[in-house]
Amino acid sequence: MDDPVLLTGAGGRVGQAILSGIGDAHEWRLLDREPLSSDRLPVGLDEGDVVVADVTDDAAMAEAMAGVGAVVHLAGDPRPEAPWNSVLENNIDGTQTVFEAAVEAGVEKVAFASSNHAVSAYETDARTPEMYRTDDDYHLDGSELPRPGNLYGVSKAAGETLGRYYHDAAGLSVVCVRIGNLTEDHPPRNYERGQAMWLSYRDCAHLFDRCIRANYGYEIVYGISDNERKYYSIDRAKEALGYEPKDDSAEYTLAGDPREES
Ligand SMILES: NC(=O)C1=CN([C@@H]2O[C@H](COP(=O)(O)OP(=O)(O)OC[C@H]3O[C@@H](n4cnc5c(N)ncnc54)[C@H](O)[C@@H]3O)[C@@H](O)[C@H]2O)C=CC1
Ligand SMILES: O=C1O[C@H](COP(=O)(O)O)[C@@H](O)[C@H](O)[C@H]1O
């Protein structure tokens, strides 16, 4: 049984996208270092149910992990320009603490929020902007080596490697989701790169639902919608997790407005 599911970083954008879509589908243990107001919680939970803790706190994470079946680990510094001291603490140390506590508690699986920035240096001057367009066939599929474009991306590649280690050393099931660009209601406006890696709220919720329910060993998948304009393959997410995205940034103009029905 995968429930209850520990969701770290529950108060952030990705956490809220997940809870808005599948808040009633699981028994949740929500964790964030900031308290969550009641309007950010699934029906049936109140502010006192949220574990307010830092993911770098060994004792707090051991306590939060007790009895948990699966973990969705989102907490961290999401800024591509984040400085080293922040990603070292929040993203690398925090992720190691989460994996270690999960193994110690006998948790079965962990879904880790990795990022497009773990591979953003593949976007060379020679390849861009063509690779963001539909008529270009350059694709990354998750089997390539990390190639981070910034220290934040380095921290996400480190998280993926920590997941590999805890899978091999302790048998933990780990899926690393290289999330693209999550926005609500419409794709990023006037941003070709962002539209190629758009992840809609409902596809985000469905993808992490599959991460909670599916059986896997160690996986790296791309977390984007089924965008016509894309350079990340979603084949592995479909095959390993049963991901069935519904959205496509091509249904919107470059300015991010819905296209007229023809
Ligand atoms: N939003 C996006 O498009 C993308 C997000 N991601 C990753 O997804 C995860 C979530 O991102 P967002 O929701 O956008 O960020 P966010 O900043 O909106 O949410 C992060 C949440 O984690 C909490 N948090 C941060 N450090 C913590 C710590 N040390 N201990 C406990 N809680 C902590 C914050 O209080 C916040 O509520 C991050 O790991 C980010 O790197 C990856 C790619 C794209
Ligand atoms: O990992 C992340 O990536 C997205 C997209 O990157 P961007 O550089 O094209 O904006 C970013 O919006 C998000 O904050 C970050 O966590």
Angstrom distance (rounded) from CA 27 to CA 115: 26
ipTM score here? 0.99
pLDDT confidence of residue 261: 66
Structure tokens at 245: 């995205």
Q: How many CA atoms lie within 13 A of 94 on its CB side?
A: 24
What is the 44 CA–ligand 1 centroid distance (Å)? 24
Q: What is the mean pLDDT of residues 34-51?
A: 92
Cα–Cα distances (Å) from 14 to 79, 99, 199, 233, in that order, read 13, 20, 10, 21
What is the 27 CA–ligand 1 centroid distance (Å)? 21
Instruction: For residue 156, say whether it is annotated as part of any ligand binding site.
Output: yes
User: Model confidence at 135, in pLDDT bands (50, 70, 90)?
Assistant: confident
CB 249 within 8 A of CB 228: yes
Angstrom distance (rounded) from CA 28 to CA 42: 9
pLDDT confidence of residue 1: 61
Closest ligand to residue 183's CA: 1
User: Is the preceding omega at residue 188 within 30 degrees of 0, hence cis?
Assistant: no
Check 122, 132, 152, 166 and give the catalytic one: 152
Reply yes or no on whether the pLDDT at 54 is more than 60: yes
User: Model confidence at 3, in pLDDT bands (50, 70, 90)?
Assistant: confident
- Count the neighbouring beta carbons within 10 Å of the beta carbon of residue 109: 23
Reply yes or no on whether the pLDDT at 262 is more than 70: no
Closest ligand to residue 196's CA: 2
Angstrom distance (rounded) from CA 53 to CA 44: 21
Q: Coil, strand, or helix at residue 208?
A: helix
Q: What is the mean pLDDT of residues 172-200?
A: 97
pLDDT confidence of residue 87: 98
Q: What is the mean pLDDT of residues 202-212?
A: 98
Residue in the structure block whose two tokens are 């480190």: 158
Angstrom distance (rounded) from CA 82 to CA 157: 15
Instruction: For residue 20, say whether it is annotated as part of any ligand binding site.
Output: no
C-beta of 114 in contact with ligand 2 (< 6 A): no
Which residue's C-alpha comes closest to atom 1 of ligand 1?
182
Angstrom distance (rounded) from CA 157 to CA 151: 10
User: Is 152 one of the annotated active-site residues of the chain?
Assistant: yes
Angstrom distance (rounded) from CA 22 to CA 36: 17
Which residue's C-alpha comes closest to atom 42 of ligand 1?
115
What is the 181 CA–ligand 2 centroid distance (Å)? 6
Which residue's C-alpha comes closest to atom 12 of ligand 2?
181
CB 174 within 8 A of CB 166: yes
Residue in the structure block whose two tokens are 């999550």: 182
pLDDT confidence of residue 2: 84
The C-alpha angle 150, 130, 123, rounded to 5 degrees, equals 15
Q: What is the atom index within ligand 2 of the atom nearest the CA of 13?
A: 14
**3-class DSSP string for 50-84:** CEECCCCCHHHHHHHHCCCCEEEECCCCCCCCCCH
Angstrom distance (rounded) from CA 66 to CA 4: 10
Q: What is the mean pLDDT of residues 29-39?
A: 96
Cα–Cα distances (Å) from 148 to 61, 99, 114, 178, 204, in that order, read 28, 22, 11, 12, 23
CB 73 within 8 A of CB 14: no
Residue-wise pLDDT for 89-131, tens only, equals 999 999 999 999 999 999 999 999 999 999 999 999 999 999 9
Which residue segments constitute the domains of the chain, with CATH numbers given?
A: 5-251 (3.40.50.720)
